[in-house]
């Protein structure tokens, strides 16, 4: 599959002989509001283009369009007053042409009157209903009142709404299966494998033959274990540990050899390539590979011979690499640990028993504690080299068997998580260094340097909060300066604000054949080698590494460049779907808490409202600007604040506030908060 690669076209403003003005034009993607306004985002530009509802030419959310910029701000920045763009203070334009309609369907409620049918929209991104073929929808099982997914085909001149067709019938609104499938449909993600793919997977042999073993290094007698979350079903990485006579240690990072089972061009490979990644919704996993592969054949389950692709290191006690080896292996894991079990052993005193409940042996305890010591050294070494630590607790939603949210809780990273992370990073970096040194086509995981202008605004904002930022915010010194600021503000409301602004300044990590290094990790060479069960780029890395270990020639760079673009796009879609599913459950959970009051802090300010994050759950809702009583508030974008025009009252990012939950809109996955404030 070769995805389309699209650049942006620019036409400079000029005067023709006729005197007619030609405005600069850009190609971008539409982001739409419920009110019908459009914002066109353009690759490589921070500022979008605002388009009024009357000038959209029927463009809808997700469409790729050509936009002409007809107005530019006089002051060079946008000024928002009480939720509206101040006249002349925003880059505005009009849609010239719809280049490509989005393939993503819109989710709504099916409604039929006589022979005419519509899908009624309740989305915050889609203000128009969609006319559909009712008989076709009925044949698919649609009923009036059911949720369906519909794809837009076009918009006839003079009609009040676009037309399209129903692509999936999701079921009765409110049911958990319906709503989760609605999220998958909204992002054009599959929720099942076609029978042909399942059949192809079933035909893959489970036998490990003598020929398979002959080409592999045998680690079955070397002590090996896995550490994963307690509820994990697929185990795609394992560590082996062996003390050497020299006093050094052999550490093997063993990764499921998916490339042995999934051959290029096979039905399973094509499906995995198209999906790009597994998707983790709040209550389910949509796997990249069929269950036979991800949970059985390729999963490194204990006490079973498993085929792996490995990076094996000889390390000193202070985590210096003396030798490294890459190649295909076979292992037999001795232990399957979860993070809590590993943590129990790591934190216990050396002379105290630990892990008795799961049969921890002295050999396992020694391995865990030695590897933990090395992992901490590796982590500290990365930080000193310029790695940036944005670690914050992950929020999880606990649901009952019917999908109803019961509890919102934080998941913290512990030493056991760091142990696995550091050795996975070591393997990823080492594989990338090995291939980079050969100068051959490869799939890298890259992360560009941050936006310096945004970092300068962070410095200014920190100064208003009483923080002096002396260090440089460019080059390698950025990491040291940011880490210092985040450390000093850790645990304080402004700390979250600083972290959020810093994250916004960061480039997005992506896959690329052009190795520009990974800024956030402070690695000159980095790739993804360690999760081929759930990420297709890792599978490509395994295949390329195998070719180059056999002294094969460099592979087609254009082909892999297109695949990197596709994988990056699929990763972004999966991330958005995962966040949307969590947001849905958070709103569903808060339906039972309407009218309750909470302490929180300002987590975002925009032209339309103030976002507030409830402590300590990180549940976020919005206080609309129009609902803040007593004044008209201006959005001062460069200062990350709202400012009252009359009272000069200021609400800044990170400020503590108290709110009341006013409403929970499940259809639009929105929480409305009421700001509880003193009279102003």
Would the pLDDT of 487 be above 80?
Answer: yes
Element (H, E) at 488: helix 477-488
Same CATH fold, 594-676 and 106-173? yes
Q: How do residues 191-246 score in pLDDT, each as one tens digit?
A: 899 999 999 999 999 999 999 999 999 999 999 999 999 888 889 999 999 999 99
- Kindly report each contact of residues 35-38 with a partner whose C-beta sits within 8 Å and lies 24 or more positions away, as own/partner: 35/127, 36/127, 36/128, 38/95
Is the Cβ–Cβ distance between 666 and 591 less than 8 Å? yes
154/193 Cα distance (integer angstroms): 29
pLDDT at position 679: 52
pLDDT at position 505: 86
639/641 Cα distance (integer angstroms): 5
Q: How do residues 622-676 score in pLDDT, each as one tens digit?
A: 999 888 888 888 888 878 889 998 888 999 888 999 999 999 999 889 999 999 9
Q: What share of the chain is helix, strand, coil (3-state, %, to 5)?
A: 30, 30, 40
Mean pLDDT of the chain: 89
* Position 356 confidence tier, pLDDT thresholds 50, 70, 90: confident
Is the Cβ–Cβ distance between 522 and 639 less than 8 Å? no
Tokens of 252: 């093997």
pLDDT at position 74: 60
* Position 8 confidence tier, pLDDT thresholds 50, 70, 90: very low
pLDDT at position 88: 44
**Phi–psi pair at 669, nearest 5 degrees:** 55, 50
pLDDT at position 234: 86
307/301 Cα distance (integer angstroms): 11
400/414 Cα distance (integer angstroms): 26
The position carrying tokens 């009024």 is: 52
Q: In 3D, which of 96, 77, 104, 102 has the Cα closest to residue 9?
A: 96
pTM for this one?
0.88
Task: Please state the domain extents for the chain.
Answer: 14-100, 106-173, 196-431, 449-506, 594-676
DSSP-H helix ranges across 66-172: 134-139
pLDDT at position 33: 84
Would the pLDDT of 273 be above 70?
Answer: yes
Dihedral sign, CA of 566, 572, 576, 577? positive
429/521 Cα distance (integer angstroms): 10
595/662 Cα distance (integer angstroms): 6
Tokens of 266: 């096979």
Would the pLDDT of 187 be above 80?
Answer: yes
Choose between 493 and 441: higher pLDDT: 441
Would the pLDDT of 40 be above 90?
Answer: yes
Q: Which CATH class is domain 14-100?
A: mainly beta
CATH classification of 106-173, choosing from 2.40.50.140, 3.40.190.10, 3.30.450.20, 2.40.50.700? 2.40.50.700
pLDDT at position 158: 86
Strand 224-228 and strand 335-338: the pairing is parallel
CA 586 distance to own-chain centroid: 18
CATH classification of 594-676, choosing from 2.130.10.10, 2.60.130.10, 2.40.340.10, 2.40.50.140? 2.40.50.140
Q: How do residues 120-151 score in pLDDT, each as one tens digit?
A: 998 888 999 999 999 999 999 999 999 999 99
Is the Cβ–Cβ distance between 137 and 118 less than 8 Å? no
Would the pLDDT of 11 be above 60?
Answer: no
Is the Cβ–Cβ distance between 288 and 536 less than 8 Å? yes
pLDDT at position 615: 82
Q: How do residues 51-109 score in pLDDT, each as one tens digit?
A: 998 899 999 999 999 999 998 876 444 433 333 344 446 789 999 999 999 988 999 99
HEC per residue, 406-429: EEEEEECCCHHHHHHHHHHHHHHH
């Amino acid at each position: 599959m070769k995805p389309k690669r699209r650049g942006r076209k620019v036409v400079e403003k000029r005067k023709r002989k006729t005197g007619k003005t030609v405005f600069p034009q850009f190609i971008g993607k539409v982001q739409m509001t419920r009110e019908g306004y459009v914002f066109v985002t353009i690759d490589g530009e921070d500022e979008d283009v605002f388009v009024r509802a009357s000038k959209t030419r029927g463009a809808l959310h997700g469409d790729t369009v050509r936009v002409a910029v007809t107005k530019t701000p006089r002051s060079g920045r946008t000024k928002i007053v009480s939720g509206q763009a101040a006249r002349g203070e925003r880059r505005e334009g009009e849609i010239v042409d719809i280049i490509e309609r989005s393939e993503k369907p819109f989710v709504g409620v099916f409604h039929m009157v006589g022979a005419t049918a519509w899908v009624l929209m309740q989305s915050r991104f889609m203000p128009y209903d969609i006319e559909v073929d009712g008989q076709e929808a009925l044949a698919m099982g649609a009923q009036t009142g059911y949720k369906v997914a519909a794809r837009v085909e076009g918009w006839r001149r003079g009609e009040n709404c676009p037309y399209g067709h129903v692509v999936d019938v999701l079921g009765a609104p409110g049911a958990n299966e319906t709503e989760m499938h609605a999220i998958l449909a909204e992002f054009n993600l599959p929720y099942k494998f076609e029978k042909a793919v399942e059949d192809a997977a079933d035909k893959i042999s489970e036998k490990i033959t003598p020929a398979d073993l002959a080409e592999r290094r045998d680690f079955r007698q070397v002590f090996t274990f896995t550490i994963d979350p307690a509820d994990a079903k697929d185990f795609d990485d394992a560590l082996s540990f062996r003390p050497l006579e020299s006093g050094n240690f052999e550490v093997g990072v063993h990764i499921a050899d998916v490339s042995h089972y999934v051959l290029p061009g096979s039905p399973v490979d094509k499906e995995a390539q198209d999906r790009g990644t597994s998707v983790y919704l709040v209550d389910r996993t949509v796997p990249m590979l069929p269950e036979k592969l991800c949970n059985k054949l390729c999963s490194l389950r204990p006490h079973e011979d498993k085929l792996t692709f490995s990076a094996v290191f000889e390390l000193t006690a202070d985590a210096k690499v003396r030798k490294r080896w890459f190649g295909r292996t076979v292992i037999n894991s001795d232990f399957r640990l979860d993070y809590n079990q590993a943590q129990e052993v790591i934190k216990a005193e050396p002379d105290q028993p630990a892990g008795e409940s799961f049969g921890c042996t002295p050999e396992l305890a020694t391995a865990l504690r030695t590897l933990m010591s090395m992992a901490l050294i590796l982590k500290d070494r990365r930080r000193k080299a310029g790695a940036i630590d944005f670690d914050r607790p992950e929020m999880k939603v606990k649901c009952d068997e019917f999908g109803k949210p019961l509890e919102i809780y934080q998941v913290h990273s512990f030493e056991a998580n760091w142990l696995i992370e550091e050795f996975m990073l070591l393997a990823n970096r080492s594989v990338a260094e090995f291939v980079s040194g050969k100068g051959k086509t490869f799939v890298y995981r890259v992360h560009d340097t941050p936006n310096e202008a945004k970092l300068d605004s962070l410095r200014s904002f920190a100064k208003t909060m009483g923080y002096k930022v002396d260090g440089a915010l460019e080059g390698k010194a950025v990491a040291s300066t940011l880490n210092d600021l985040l450390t000093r503000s850790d645990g304080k409301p402004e700390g979250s604000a600083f972290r959020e602004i810093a994250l916004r300044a960061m480039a997005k990590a992506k896959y690329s054949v052009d190795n520009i290094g990974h800024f956030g990790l402070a690695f000159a060479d980095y790739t993804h080698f360690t999760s081929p069960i759930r990420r297709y780029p890792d599978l490509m890395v395994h295949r390329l590494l195998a070719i180059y270990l056999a002294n094969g020639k460099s592979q087609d760079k254009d082909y892999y460049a297109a695949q990197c673009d596709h994988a990056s796009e699929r990763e972004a879609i999966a991330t958005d779907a995962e966040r949307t599913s969590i947001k849905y459950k958070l709103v569903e959970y808060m339906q039972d808490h309407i009218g309750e009051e909470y302490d929180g802090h300002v987590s975002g300010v925009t032209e339309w409202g103030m976002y507030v994050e409830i402590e300590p759950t990180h549940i976020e809702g919005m206080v609309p600007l129009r609902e803040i009583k007593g004044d008209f508030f201006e959005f001062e974008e460069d200062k990350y604040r709202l400012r009252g025009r009359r009272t000069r009252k200021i609400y800044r990012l990170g400020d503590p506030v108290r709110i009341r939950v006013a409403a929970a809109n499940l259809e639009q996955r929105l929480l409305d908060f009421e700001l509880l404030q003193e009279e102003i």
